[in-house]
Structure 1
């Protein structure tokens, strides 16, 4: 997604983002310390001892599903179903998750554009798609790398996204990657912070 305007100073974005992210991760990590009633801190796993190697495989599989959950939610919005996409985002993210974005031309060492909460991000996506005039979108993810450390972890995912302007005529294609901070909650793994890094955003038209 492209974003042509940003409100507020970039320095303010950075300070606010650091505070929101730290609070979001701390809150969800504390919540993960105690399992839901009758459940397990990993979400959906049986009580009792689980071999460490097996637990890691289970964790990584559940975390990887989050990036596909996000893509499905975004493309649901891309097809015009805002509420369907919003509902799906709520399954991918913690309630107080932060979404950050660096667009082509942004200083990668500077503060990103920030949105707080999956519901607000759904509105941003819908506005971006409507403003650009997209009729549908397709987000493809790959090269997923996951690192789990107890109840927190990181995930990096390559991105290729196609935004359809006119079927069989013109599209806009984005390339980049996502950097995620994930946390274990009583309801399973969730994304606490997702940072989008867009390297290119190109318009392609048929001859």
Structure 2
């Protein structure tokens, strides 16, 4: 494992949390490819960077604050392609809502990255929530978009053949 590649990939993954929390959507250009395939749920799936940036800006604008923490980084590099699995926690804050000011959760990102002339970029991301708590109204910043608690235990996803990082290191 090239530690420089691993460090650069971890920086890209961590930069995502910083970009979201600062609402610095221009930083997504340093994180994702133009043709990114970002699957956050059955109803939240993007296939290009411009739409991802626009939708994330609209969704996150109403929050008074957010905090995303990336951890337990696992990286597998194979030449100019890499797989990374990262655990995440987040807290979203909107003051003054009936039922409480925050919504929080935990989940994981299963990323495919490619080496570009400008460094590593995420070309494909699967994001799954495994737990959430707090006031779900905080999270409803876009009319009609509601999150339900899916059962996306990492073990179950692996057994179903849907964890690309696991597949990459098992070959």
Q: Same fold (TM over 0.5)?
A: yes
Unpaired runs of 5+ in structure 2? 136-171
1:111-158 deviation line (CA, Å, top 9, x unaligned): 67311222311222222234xx42111100100000011110100110
Q: Distance in 1 between matches of 2:43 and 2:93?
A: 26
Larger radius of gyration: 1
Cα deviations by residue, 1:69-116 (Å, 9 ceiling, x for unpaired): 111111122xxxxxxx221001111111111113xxxxxxxx673112
Alignment of 1:122-201 (within 5 A): 122-130=53-61, 133-166=62-95, 170-201=101-132
Partner residue in 2 for 1:86: 25
Alignment check: 8 A CA contact 1:175 1:201 kept: yes
Deviates more, 1:116-125 or 1:179-188: 116-125
More helix by share: 1
Deviation string 1:33-63 (CA, Å, 9 cap, x unpaired) is xxxxxxxxxxxxxxxxxxxx5xx11111101
Are residues 154 and 198 of structure 1, via their aligned partners in 2, closer, same or farther at CA, if it must alter by over 3 Å? same
1:82-121 paired onto structure 2 within 5 Å? 85-102=24-41, 113-121=44-52
> For each residue in 1:177-205, what CA deviation from the matched residue of structure 2 results, as whole angstroms up to 9, or x when unmatched?
1010001111111111111111122216x
CA distance in 1, matches of 2:52, 2:131: 21
Relative contact order (C-alpha < 8 Å, sep 6+): which is higher? 1
Aligned partners of 1:86 and 1:118 also within 8 Å: no
- Number of corresponding residues: 132
Q: Establish whether residue 65 from structure 1 lines up as the match of residue 4 from structure 2.
A: no
> Contact conserved, 1:86 with 1:119, CA < 8 A, in 2?
no
| Residues in 1 aligned to 2:55 and 2:18: alpha-carbon distance in whole angstroms | 16
2:20 to 74, 78, 89: 74
- Which TM-score applies when normalising by structure 2? 0.71
For 1:139 and 1:76, locate their aligned partners in 2 and report how far apart those are by CA, in whole Å: 10
Preserved CA contact (<8 Å) 2:103 2:134: yes
CA 1:115–1:71: 2 relative to 1, 3 Å: same
TM-score (norm 1): 0.59
Secondary structure in 1 matching 2:73: strand
